[in-house]
Amino acid sequence: MSASDLDLLYTRASEHDPARPSTAVRAAILERARELADHTHERHSAREGAQPRAPERRSPTLAALAELSRRVARWPRIRWQIAAPVAAAALAAIVLQPQLRSRLPAPASRVSAPTRATPAPEPFPAAPGRTQSHASGAPAPRLESPSAAAPRAQLRERSEVERPVEPAAPSELLHEAAARGDVRWVRSILQMYNVPINAPDADGRTALMLAVRNRQEAAVRELLGRGADPNIADADGRTPLEVARDRHELSIFDALLQAGAR
């Protein structure tokens, strides 16, 4: 028997093979394909503002099941859409808390209004050094009546007493996100707070170094893509490339090399 005879025999025999998948299997496959197509179409329609396509005829039970599975499938995305803004708002409130407290207006009953001159805001409680600079020719401090200054001083004192934990600086958040490999969070922090991407922590480790140390390849690539310097050594003089090599992280090592690491 030649090679072509074998192919011919296979084709001829298979044509007479009565094996077919059951109609239930076929129906389930086509139904699923239809659901996914409807879902795609809805997303397109929502994006373009078009009218949703009229649903194809199907049994009410199947339609109800399809709708239920669609809703279940959407829930994680919806939950994320709610959770992300809430978390961002909470974080912003924590970070801006001192600034907001210092901006609180003094109670009207205790302020003598006519004495207020230029309403230059003071974003942070005045540090001792700044007071001295005023005395040495810096712009004059704004005028405040003693009665207005008193409650403000009380507020400052209270805020310093009541604040149990200092909010994390944005660079610390960046370091934490990089170490955890949370790429989305790394991206958000860089966009929201304009943090210097190469800012070091107390041990001289940049976000990139922390991502490398924790084998977070996605975070490493994200940081490199956003211009992180791959040659900044930590306090011990170790570069990210050396750390990746010691940890046998070849893909991270390659990514660093491609970004110009030495």
The residues binding other proteins (CB under 8 A) are 1, 3, 5-7, 9-22, 25-26, 28-30, 32-34, 36-38, 40-41, 44, 53, 56
Residue 234 Cβ, how far from other proteins at the closest point, in Å? 39
Cβ closest to other proteins, residue 14 vs residue 136: 14
DSSP assigned state of 142: P
Dihedral of CA atoms 177, 171, 88, 44 in degrees, nearest 10, equals -60
The answer to whether 256 touches 230, Cβ cutoff 8 Å, is yes
Residue 63 Cβ, how far from other proteins at the closest point, in Å? 15
Minimal CA–CA distance to 74: which of 101, 46, 102? 46
Cβ closest to other proteins, residue 16 vs residue 262: 16
Query: Which residue, chain included where needed, has tokens 């050094």?
Result: 129
Minimal CA–CA distance to 253: which of 234, 240, 237? 240
Q: DSSP states of 29-88 as a string?
A: HHHHHHHHHHHHHHHHHHHHTPPPPPPPP--HHHHHHHHHHHHHHHHHHHHHHHHHHHHH
Cβ closest to other proteins, residue 10 vs residue 75: 10
The answer to whether 139 touches 161, Cβ cutoff 8 Å, is no
Cβ closest to other proteins, residue 52 vs residue 227: 52
Q: For residue 224, count other CB atoms closer than 10 A to its CB.
A: 22
Residue 58 Cβ, how far from other proteins at the closest point, in Å? 11
Q: Give dist(CA 188, CA 174) in Å, integer.
A: 9
Cβ closest to other proteins, residue 16 vs residue 248: 16
Residue 40 Cβ, how far from other proteins at the closest point, in Å? 5
Residue 42 Cβ, how far from other proteins at the closest point, in Å? 9
Residue 183 Cβ, how far from other proteins at the closest point, in Å? 19
Cβ closest to other proteins, residue 28 vs residue 96: 28
